[in-house]
Amino acid sequence: MNNQASVNITTAVDSLVSLVNERKRISMEEAAQTLGLPESIINEWASFLEEEHILGIEYQITTPFLVAAEDSKVKEERSTDAGIEKDLLIRKIQFMLASLEKFKTDPTMVIRNKEELLKAIKSGDTSRENKLYIQKMYLQIKLKELLDEIRNNKTEDLFKMSQDVMVLEKRKKAFESNF
């Protein structure tokens, strides 16, 4: 029974989004009447849908209007939010890189690029200093690659990049606990 109820709610929300996209601009009261739902429910859904940048809410004096995302400032906000998220990811990576510099190792090898890193990993060197150095260099190389990717890519990939940053944060914490 619960599964059926969630299907009806999803369908009703989809109906609201379709109605707003079809009309481009409609008052909440009219949307409630058209869909046969209480205005309070439409208001709750509209608030959520606005947060998710699916539609916009505009106020004319005291009347709230639902507006299709393409016709409102929502589209503008979406690109601004992505820009802010991109800047935050860049700063987070830069901070992680700077904090890695604090960790000094005394390795018997030098790693300057990804190829040398792969050779060092395959070498099976078991000295503690070299292991720490390899971990540090791995993190630095991966963070720099991700930083370049974020700076050069479109904002569509930000979710994946954010996940990559989280993975590297976990690996950095593991490195710090080993140090």
* Parallel/antiparallel/unpaired status of strands 63-68 and 55-60: antiparallel
Cβ–Cβ under 8 Å, residues 72 and 23: no
Q: For residue 4, is pLDDT > 70? A: no
- Only one residue has tokens 């940053």, namely 165
Query: Which token pair is 126?
Result: 């078991």
C-alpha closest to that of 101 among 149, 139, 131 = 139
- 25-33 contact pairs (CB < 8 A, 24+): 25/58, 25/65, 25/66, 25/67, 25/68, 25/71, 26/65, 26/66, 27/63, 27/64, 27/65, 27/66, 28/63, 28/64, 28/65, 28/66, 29/63, 31/66
- Contact of 103 with 135, CB cutoff 8 Å: no
The domains of the chain are located at: 2-71, 74-178
Which pLDDT score, from 0 to 100, does residue 178 have? 82
Q: Which of 50-59, 106-115, 147-156 is predicted with the least confidence, judged by mean pLDDT? A: 147-156
pTM score:
0.53
User: Per-residue pLDDT for 64 more than 50?
Assistant: yes
Confidence check: pLDDT of 9 > 90: no
Task: Please state which of the four CATH numbers 1.10.3720.10, 3.40.309.10, 1.10.10.10, 3.40.190.10 is assigned to the domain occupying 2-71.
Answer: 1.10.10.10
Mean pLDDT of the chain: 81
Nearest to 64 by CA among 42, 91, 84: 42
Least confident of 20-34, 42-56, 66-80, 144-158: 66-80
* Among 87, 88, 55, residue whose Cα is nearest residue 73: 55
Three-class DSSP category at 99: helix
Q: Is the pLDDT of residue 49 over 80?
A: yes
Question: What 3-state class would DSSP assign to 55?
Answer: strand
